[in-house]
Chains A and B, each alone.
Chain A
Amino acid sequence: METTFEKNSFKSEEYFINMGPQHPATHGVLRLLLTIDGEIIKNVEPDLGYIHRSIEKMCERDSYQQIVHLTDRMDYLSAHINNEAVCLAVENALGLEVPERVKVIRTIIAELTRLASHQLWWGVMGMDVGALTTYFYGFRDREMINDIFEETCGARLTMNYNIPGGLMFDIHPNFVQRTKDFVAHFKTKLPEYDTLLTGNVIFQKRTKGVGILTKEDAISFGTSGPVARASGYSCDVRKLHPYSAYDRVNFNEALFTEGDTFARYRVRIQEMWESLAIIEQLIDNIPEGDYKTATNAVIKLPKGEFYQKVETARGELGVFIVSDGKKNPYRLKFRSPGFSNLSALKKMAVGSKLGDLVAMMATLDIVVPDIDR
């Protein structure tokens, strides 16, 4: 029996695959509907809502102090910065002036949070592209920051330490010394991170030239944070609309122009160095004073609309409060950075391979409860 083999007898068809809600590489419950042709991706469509907890509807019936408690759980890796956003919005609306001590402490704690978030990102990024060692290194260093927070704020992850008007209690006497010890320790560890991943040939081959996002696309898709800065769009809220103590520290903005996965990686490593520099400038000169200004027990914002932007570890978080004079907001909207960053995934991913998609998702650094709110 002869079998004839025709030259084009293998037809390729598109194949629909579901990268389901429960998946180790999606950083949360995100469902991606992929249409692939072999290994090449033709279409990516995210399906959200698997952790939609209707926070915006809850906020319409909560008082402002309760809203701060809920923002911890949205983007839990930069919990302090989320709290700070709502507190700043309320304080600016009321025209409240917080003491200098509060501003400096808020900035130091925000930079520590950013460091903790980037450490976890680095650990998980290595794990996603196959290097499991980085997971343990990243978490080991993160534990030191968790200890500092636990001593001062009382909790490791959802701290709820910023309140409208100031801080919930004063910092622990050991805070300054422990932070200085941590900074000295981490400065010896960060070059180790470079040795493990940045200079690694396999890692570079997996990330250079992958998932390119041009500057025009970055602006049109509304991206912000490290994703936009790696494409050349300078958008650091700490520099453009400074808040708390950012107007008195010197730091550089990490900008690269290639727009690929490796550039996004390098932006975050550079941001870790800048955070260490900011903490060093502030830690020795915390001004004396009160740790909060008194507010009423029931906070009522005047009638109007208020918008506050802050820079979280993921990008620009915006809080939009529409108030009609009562003690609950009329409408509260959180402009989440992950939502806009995720909308750029389709542009980046179409045409590349399935393994590259995982590397791209790791550098987008999305936290799904932040998107779903």
Chain B
Amino acid sequence: MTDLIKVYKINSMTNSDLQTLISSWNSELEFSEAESQFLNITVKPEHLHELLSQLKSNTETSFDYLFCLTGMDWGTDLGVVYHLESTTHRHQLVVKVKTSDRENPTFDSVCDIWSTAEFHEMEVFDYFGIKFNNHPNLKRLFMPKDWVGYPLRKDYVDEVNMIIK
């Protein structure tokens, strides 16, 4: 059974190899492996799209499967966490991006890189109010169209509907 697993993980790069390769593209990235089982990269919003397209197109990394796109409210900052995987090399990576602008947070959309991002970004907009540039169809997905407020933010208060326990 273990030989089968080795066959699946061809040319899988270790975290330190990935870190060496990716830091050669952009010097302003922060790498961390603390408190997580994957390698975490924190990138600035203006370099986000470029880094993610390079991660997909480079043949050694070839991260072509985005399996989780999560919106986060870190208390003071709002941000997005991307979980990436490569279907050929089977290594995994986490990319995070943050902004401290709570009135009008905006990032670049990655729909042109992975088509799955279209629905996920609509969900993040619905819950947190984060807007994405160049998104084909950014509107509310789960909440009714005329809902006011962004429910999953930490400072969301709803006296009418929520019964807090």
Contacts and interface: CB of A to CB of B under 8 A. Distances in A.
B108 interface: no
B23 interface: no
Given A48-B141, A333-B68, A221 B116 contact: yes
Interface in B85-104: 87, 90, 94
A222 B68 CA distance: 9
B142 A320 contact: no
A54 B151 contact: yes
Interface residues of B, number: 38
Contacts of A339: 119-120, 123
B64 interface: yes
Contacts of A54: 151
B67 A239 contact: no
A306 B37 contact: yes
A266 B4 CA distance: 23
Contacts of B31: none
Contacts of B67: 222, 224, 316, 318, 335
B115 A343 contact: yes
A45 B73 CA distance: 29
B115 A221 contact: yes
Contacts of A219: 64-65, 87
A49 interface: yes
A180 interface: no
Nearest to A235: B87
A304 B68 contact: no
A61 B81 CA distance: 22
A48 B36 CA distance: 32
B142 to A, nearest CB: 4
B151 A307 contact: no
A340 B116 contact: yes
A276 B87 CA distance: 28
B151 A240 contact: no
A93 B118 CA distance: 31
A52 interface: yes
B1 interface: yes
A372 B116 CA distance: 16
Contacts of B130: none
Interface in B20-63: 34-38
Contact of A307 (B2, B38, B144): B38
B12 to A, nearest CB: 11
B64 A49 contact: no
Nearest to A51: B142
B5 A242 contact: yes
A185 interface: no
A220 B64 contact: yes
A222 B116 contact: yes
B115 A220 contact: yes
A140 interface: no
A219 B164 CA distance: 41
A318 B144 CA distance: 26
B135 interface: no
Contacts of B70: 320, 331, 333
Contact of A305 (B2, B36, B90, B123): B36
B68 to A, nearest CB: 4
Q: Which of B2, B115, B164 has the most CB of A within 10 A?
A: B115
Contacts of B119: 339-340, 342-343
A356 interface: no
B68 A318 contact: yes
Contact of A343 (B65, B87, B118): B118
Contacts of B2: 247
Contact of B143 (A49, A61, A235): A49
A233 interface: yes
Contacts of B81: 320
Contacts of B144: 49
Contacts of B142: 48-49, 52, 372
A54 B164 CA distance: 13
Interface of B: 1-2, 4-5, 8, 34-38, 64-68, 70, 72-73, 81, 83, 87, 90, 94, 114-116, 118-120, 123, 141-144, 151-152, 164-165
9 contacts: A221-B115, A239-B8, A302-B35, A305-B94, A318-B83, A335-B68, A339-B123, A340-B116, A343-B119
Given A220-B64, A222-B67, A222-B116, 17 more contacts: A52-B143, A56-B152, A57-B151, A217-B115, A219-B64, A220-B114, A220-B115, A221-B115, A222-B114, A233-B87, A239-B4, A239-B8, A240-B8, A306-B36, A335-B68, A340-B119, A343-B118
